Amino acid sequence: MAKIDYPAHLEAMWQKAIAPREPNAPTVISTFAGGGGSLTGYMMAGFHDLLAVEWDNNAVETLRLNWPELDIYHGDIAKLSVEEVLQRTGLKPGELDILDGSPPCQGFSTAGKRILDDPRNQLFREYVRLLRGLRPKVFIMENVSGMVKGKMKLVFVDILKELKASGYWVSAKLLNAMYFHVPQSRERMIFIGVRDDLRIEPTHPRAESKPVTVREAWQTLDVDTTGLGLTPLYSEYWRTTAPGATLGKLGATKKLDWNRAGYTIVKSEGNGGLYHPSECRMLALSEFRRLASYPDNYGFTGARRDFQERIGNSVPPLFMEAIARHVRAEILDKVETAVPANG
C-alpha cells in the first residue's frame, strides 16, 4: 500500500464528484444525509444521487450550498412514503441500485420486548420500511463500532435479523476509515446487503492505504487562526500534555500527533475532541475538513458548533467512496440484468 499525495488526491476526487454523470451511472438514495459526507463519497465514485433525505435545518442548508441541483426531502423520514420516493425519482420498485443510510440505533433490551421495539429505534424501522418498499439491489448502512460490544450486541443481532428478513443477504464488518485514504482513525460498522433474488454474496473492501498522517493531511493548507486561542486553564492542559494523549481532565479530548492519523472527530466533545499538535489552539474548519476528507472548498453553514456536529456525525467522503466503488465493481457490475423485484 503506497502513500499518496493527500491534498492532490482529495482534489482529484472532488473533481470526479462534480463532473457530469454518465448516462448509465448507478443510482443511490441517501437517507439521514446530514451534511453530505456519504453523498459526496458516492458522487466521487461516479454514482448519481437521486434524492437526499434529511430533517435538520443546518444540514439541509449545507447540502444545498454544495449540491444546489440535488433533490432534497427536508422533513421527517416517517412522513416520506415509498410512493413519493418513486414519484420523485421516476423509479419502480427494484430499480434503485443502492439505498444508503445511517439510522441511529440506541435502544437496549427491556423485559418482554424486542430491542427494536424500543421507541428510540423508530428511525431504524423507518429505514427498513423504505428498504422493503423500494427493494433496491443493494443497501449500505453505517453505524457505531460499539454496537458489537456489551449490551449493544443485542441491538446488533436484532438489526441483522430485521435486515435479513427484509429479503437481503447481509454482511456486517468493522472498517476503519484510516485505511481508506482518510487521515482520521474512525472505526465504523458497515452493513452491506444484496437483494436475495440477485444471488450475489455481499463483500467489503479490503484496506487500500497506509494511514495518512496529520502532517501529510495538512500540507499546503492555509489556516486562519483568528479566534482559536485557548483559555488559561485549557492552555495549561495543552502545554502539559504530550501529543496523542488526553488533555488533563477533558475526557475524550486529545492533542493531535503530527506523525499519526488524526483521532476520531466527535460531535459531543468541545472543539471536536481535538487540539492542534504544536500550536496552543483549537483546530480551524480547514483543518477539520482535511482530517474528515472533505474537499477544501466544501462549504459548511452555521456556527462553529454546527460544522463540528456535521463533521463529527458524518461518514468521511473518501471512506464512502471506497465502499461505493467496491460495491459497484463487485456487486452491481455483476448483475447481468436489472430484474425488478415486486413486493
pLDDT at 213 over 70: yes
Give the mean model confidence (pLDDT) for residues 131-144: 96
Half-sphere exposure (Cβ direction) of 171: Cα atoms closer than 13 Å: 14
- pLDDT-derived band at 113 (thresholds 50, 70, 90) equals low
Q: For residue range 267-296, what is the model confidence (pLDDT) as tens digits?
A: 765 666 899 999 999 999 999 999 999 999
Q: What is the pLDDT of residue 108?
A: 42
Give the mean model confidence (pLDDT) for residues 213-240: 92
Q: What is the pLDDT of residue 115?
A: 61
Give the mean model confidence (pLDDT) for residues 112-130: 77
Mean pLDDT of the chain: 91
Give the mean model confidence (pLDDT) for residues 125-131: 96
Domain topology for 214-313: DNA Methylase; Chain A, domain 2 (3.90.120)
Give the mean model confidence (pLDDT) for residues 227-243: 89
Judge whether 96 and 29 are in contact, CB under 8 Å.
Answer: yes
Judge whether 136 and 98 are in contact, CB under 8 Å.
Answer: yes
Judge whether 294 and 216 are in contact, CB under 8 Å.
Answer: no
Give the mean model confidence (pLDDT) for residues 89-94: 98
| Residue 127: φ, ψ to 5° | -60, -45
- pLDDT-derived band at 336 (thresholds 50, 70, 90) equals low
Give the mean model confidence (pLDDT) for residues 300-321: 93
Cell of 173: 464488518
- pLDDT-derived band at 237 (thresholds 50, 70, 90) equals confident
Boundaries of CATH 3.90.120.10 in the chain?
Answer: 214-313
More confident residue, 143 or 16: 16
Residue 280 is among the residues annotated as catalytic for this protein:
no
Judge whether 106 and 121 are in contact, CB under 8 Å.
Answer: yes
Q: What is the pLDDT of residue 111?
A: 42
In this structure, of 134-143, 202-211, 222-231, the range with the lowest mean pLDDT score is: 222-231
User: Percent of the chain having pLDDT more than 90?
Assistant: 73
**Rounded CA separation 63/24 (Å):** 24
Q: Which CATH architecture has domain 6-210+315-334?
A: 3-Layer(aba) Sandwich (3.40)
Q: What is the pLDDT of residue 145?
A: 84
Give the mean model confidence (pLDDT) for residues 123-134: 96
Q: What is the pLDDT of residue 112?
A: 46
Give the mean model confidence (pLDDT) for residues 334-338: 69
Q: Does the global pTM surpass 0.85?
A: yes
**For the chain, what is the HEC assignment?**
CCCCCHHHHHHHHHHHHHCCCCCCCCEEEEECCCCCHHHHHHHHCCCEEEEEEECCHHHHHHHHHHCCCCCEEECCHHHCCHHHHHHHHCCCCCCCCEEEECCCCCCCCECCECHHHCHHHHHHHHHHHHHHHHCCCEEEEEEEHHHHCCCHHHHHHHHHHHHHHCCEEEEEEEEEHHHCCCCECCEEEEEEEEEHHHCCCCCCCCCCCCCCCHHHHHCCCCCCCCCCECCHHHHHHHHCCCCCCECCCCCCCEECCCCCCECCCCCCCHHHHEECCCCCEECCHHHHHHHCCCCCCCCCCCCHHHHHHHHHHCCCHHHHHHHHHHHHHHCHHHCCCCCCCCC
Judge whether 170 and 193 are in contact, CB under 8 Å.
Answer: yes
Give the mean model confidence (pLDDT) for residues 8-12: 98
- Which candidate in 77, 80, 85, 105 is catalytic? 105
In this structure, of 23-32, 73-82, 221-230, 314-323, the range with the lowest mean pLDDT score is: 221-230
Q: What is the pLDDT of residue 109?
A: 41
Boundaries of CATH 3.40.50.150 in the chain?
Answer: 6-210+315-334
Give the mean model confidence (pLDDT) for residues 257-269: 87
Q: For residue range 24-72, what is the model confidence (pLDDT) as tens digits?
A: 999 999 999 999 999 999 999 999 999 999 999 999 999 999 999 999 9
Residue 337: how many CB atoms within 10 A of its CB? 5
In this structure, of 83-97, 145-159, 229-243, the range with the lowest mean pLDDT score is: 145-159
